[in-house]
Amino acid sequence: MDRYVLKTQSLMKEYDGLIAVDDLNLEIKKGEVFGFLGPNGAGKTSAIKMMVGLLKPTSGQVLFNGKETGSAEKGIIGVCPQELVLWGSLTCKENLTFMGNMYGIPRSILKEKVNTLLEALALSDRANEEVSTLSGGMKRRLNVALSLVHDPVILFLDEPSAGLDPQSRLLLWDFIRSLRDKEGKTIVLTTHIMEEADALSDRIAIIDHGKLLLLDTPEGLKKTIGRGDIVEIQLADATVNKRVTTLIKSLEGVEEVKELRGRVTVRALNATSKLPQMIDLIESAKGRVLDVSIRGNTLEDVFIYLTGRDLRE
């Protein structure tokens, strides 16, 4: 039996000569949380729309359990969009029941499913309240519940934590993990919160300009842009940063030096032992250190390294 629930094969989408998705090949395993990351305009939305059958590829194909999207079993896919899709004049329970009825779920099964979802997402005490009276976080959680009422095999979550407070975010993260660990669901997660992608994803794909850049586990991705720790140095005079960057590059064991967010960022093997040499070089360039921090590599470092730091709208 195929261990992949979804495959994209040479997937391409072109709009009036602009290639949004370029030869995208992915294999998403059954029962994994698959992070799908990229900056704005990277091609994520077009790729997701083709995966769920809302957009026809220019070329290539999407397979669910070995079958093309058009012939896939009805209800196999669940989609939770970033935009809230709720009926404000209906109660939480009525929203879920209405969605379940559209999928033709038997009444006895649907009632139990609705109550289970409300409890899992901490909405039971608001079950009979109109959605228009709910807080933003409650609406966001109900939005997730609506995408699951028909018990899909694969769930697409688009920025599920957007606007959530820390407590709601942790509750949602635990719920997503339980969908994978207890129910064996496959989840495709898009998010701009790197901490979320790191905490939840079994594997992560990073795309930009329509192309797949890297696909690996979170830990594997963090190892792709060099070894060692990261030293961030803030100088009293940021105009010295470029000169200091050039000097530090000459040190043995330094793998990368760049100016990022007004700081000199150094990736180096055994970084702590090199700090005295770095400070000597800074002082020789007439610089003065205001702050120094040392940390391990993060997923955000990988993302910025691969996709750049220019703002995109």
Give the total number of structural domains in the chain: 2
Residue 70 tokens, joined: 């058009």
Q: How far apart, in whole angstroms, are the C-alpha atoms of residue 113 and residue 76?
A: 16
In this predicted structure, what is the pLDDT of residue 287?
94
Q: Is residue 302 part of a domain?
A: no
Kindly state whether residues 215 and 250 are assigned to the same domain: no
Residues 85 and 135 in one domain: yes
State whether 108 and 208 are in the same domain.
yes
**Residue 268, both tokens:** 């180096």
Residue 287 phi/psi, 5° resolution?
Answer: -100, 160
Same domain, 202 and 264: no
The verdict on 121 and 264 lying in the same domain is no
Range of the domain at 270: 229-296
Q: Looking at the DSSP assignment, which residues form a beta bridge with residue 36?
A: 205
Whether residues 204 and 85 share a domain: the answer is yes
Cα separation, 272 vs 276, in Å, equals 8
Within-domain flag for 66: yes
Q: Answer yes or no: is 307 within a domain.
A: no
Do 263 and 197 lie in a common domain? Answer: no
Residue where a domain terminates, one of 222, 244, 278: 222
Q: Write down the pLDDT at residue 72.
A: 60
Q: Let me know if residue 214 belongs to a domain.
A: yes
Digit-by-digit pLDDT tens for the chain (313 residues) are 568 999 999 999 999 999 999 999 999 999 999 999 999 999 999 999 999 999 999 999 999 988 776 656 668 999 999 999 999 999 999 999 999 999 999 999 999 999 999 999 999 999 999 999 999 999 999 999 999 999 999 999 999 998 899 999 999 999 999 999 999 999 999 999 999 999 999 999 999 999 999 999 999 998 887 677 899 999 999 999 999 999 999 999 898 899 988 999 998 878 888 999 999 999 999 999 999 999 888 899 899 888 886 655 5
| Token couple for 54 | 């809302």
In sequence order, the 6+-apart residues with CB closer than 8 A to the CB of 156 are: 48, 51, 52, 77, 78, 79, 80, 147, 187, 188, 190
- State how far the Cα of 177 lies from the Cα of 3, in Å rounded to an integer: 19
Q: What is the pLDDT of residue 312?
A: 58
Residue 287, CB-side half-sphere exposure with 13 Å CA sphere: 26
Which of 189, 222, 255 terminates a domain? The answer is 222
CA distances from 255 to 100, 122, 250, 259, 293 (A): 55, 47, 10, 14, 17
Q: Are residues 20 and 168 in the same domain?
A: yes
What confidence score (pLDDT) does residue 251 get?
93
Residues near 45 by Cβ (< 8 Å), separated by ≥ 6?
Answer: none
Alpha-carbon torsion angle 116, 118, 121, 126, nearest 10? -160
The dihedral formed by the CA atoms of 238, 240, 245 and 250, expressed in degrees to the nearest 10: -160
Please give the pLDDT value at position 308. 82
What CATH number does residue 30 fall under? Answer: 3.40.50.300
Residue 80 sits in the same domain as residue 187: yes
What does the pLDDT read at residue 71?
57
Is 136:167 a contact under the CB 8 Å cutoff?
no
Residues 55 and 189 in one domain: yes
Closest CA relative to residue 22, chosen from 59, 73, 55, 54: 59
Q: Please answer whether residues 272 and 229 qualify as being in contact, where contact means their C-beta atoms are separated by less than 8 angstroms.
A: yes
> For 66-92, b where at least 16 C-beta lie within 10 A, e where not — what string?
eeebeebeeebbbbbeeeeebeeeebb
Q: Please report, for the domain that includes residue 272, its CATH number.
A: 3.30.70.100
